[in-house]
Amino acid sequence: MALFIVFEGGEGCGKSTQTRFLSQRLSRAGFHTVLTREPGGTKLGERVRRCLKQNDGTRISPLAELLLIEAARAQLVSEVIRPALDAGQIVICDRFTPSTLVYQGYGRGLDMNTLRAINDAATDGLSADLVVLLDIPVEAGLGRKKGKDKDRFESESLDFHRRVRRGYLEMARTDPKKWLVVDGRLPREAIERKIWERVSVLLRRESNG
Ligand code: TMP
């Protein structure tokens, strides 16, 4: 059963843990599941990821940042996501096109219509069946990163991260059928349960045709 599930959220929201959990649970239930991430997920994409996250003082303009992300995305869609969906597999992706709308749009101030057009070109119009947003107040999320070296995105201002969060919540509000918003401060098991409930509905709907 082809299904495309995307996880989104600000820094420190707990996406990686939850994507791993869901992927394991689906695999145990007998579904062929592919877990990947953006930027990254391919050899090229992981190289781009290192360039983007590295906090070594290299200046990257907002447009250059966007195009690097979209290059990695085009590679990931053509090399991994599309073939898996065509083979009837479930794909879970840690971030996808919504990240661009909130980070490069709400965050960096790039034009939203331009972002939508480039997202569309890079993905050939692919969009998620379900977007899980792990919502967490900016200070709480960044607080979880304390003591670790901050990457280029984590080093942005609180204001930048607040715009990102606002962007996510606005997008989720306009498309509640596709978006599931879960409070990222809940205990891990409670978050897992809420996500599994929603995914089960989707699985039932898909298997009924
Ligand atoms: P993460 O996987 O640890 O969340 O790191 C990925 C970083 O890349 C995160 O800070 C958000 C950023 N990013 C964008 O700015 N735009 C995008 O389209 C994507 C996919 C990620």
Q: Tell me, in angstroms, the distance from the centre of ligand 1 to residue 207's CA.
A: 33
Per DSSP, what are the bridge partners of residue 181?
Answer: 133
Sheet holding 33-37: strands in order across? Answer: 33-37, 90-94, 3-8, 130-135, 179-183
pLDDT per residue as tens digits for the range 119-148: 999 999 999 999 999 999 999 999 998 888
Lowest mean pLDDT among 21-25, 80-84, 102-106, 141-145: 141-145
Instruction: Give the predicted TM-score (pTM) of the model.
Output: 0.98
Which atom of ligand 1 lies at the shortest distance from residue 72's CA? 20
Comparing C-alpha atoms, which of 71, 2, 15 is closest to residue 42? Answer: 71
Q: What is the mean pLDDT of residues 197-206?
A: 95
Q: How confident is the model at residue 148, as a pLDDT?
A: 85
Domains of the chain: 3-207 (3.40.50.300)
Comparing C-alpha atoms, which of 132, 143, 168 is closest to residue 10? Answer: 168
Task: Tell me the CA distances in angstroms from 49 to 65, 144, 151, one per residue in order.
Answer: 10, 21, 11
Q: How confident is the model at residue 58, as a pLDDT?
A: 93
Q: Tell me, in angstroms, the distance from the centre of ligand 1 to residue 147's CA.
A: 20
Residues whose beta carbon lies within 6 Å of some atom of ligand 1: 37-39, 69, 94-95, 99-100, 103-104, 153
Q: Tell me, in angstroms, the distance from the centre of ligand 1 to residue 98's CA.
A: 10
Q: Tell me, in angstroms, the distance from the centre of ligand 1 to residue 200's CA.
A: 27
pLDDT per residue as tens digits for the range 48-101: 999 999 999 999 999 999 999 999 999 999 999 999 999 999 999 999 999 999
Determine the Cα–Cα distance for residues 189 and 31; give it in Å rounded to an integer.
21
Q: For ligand 1, atom 2, which residue shows the shortest CA distance?
A: 38
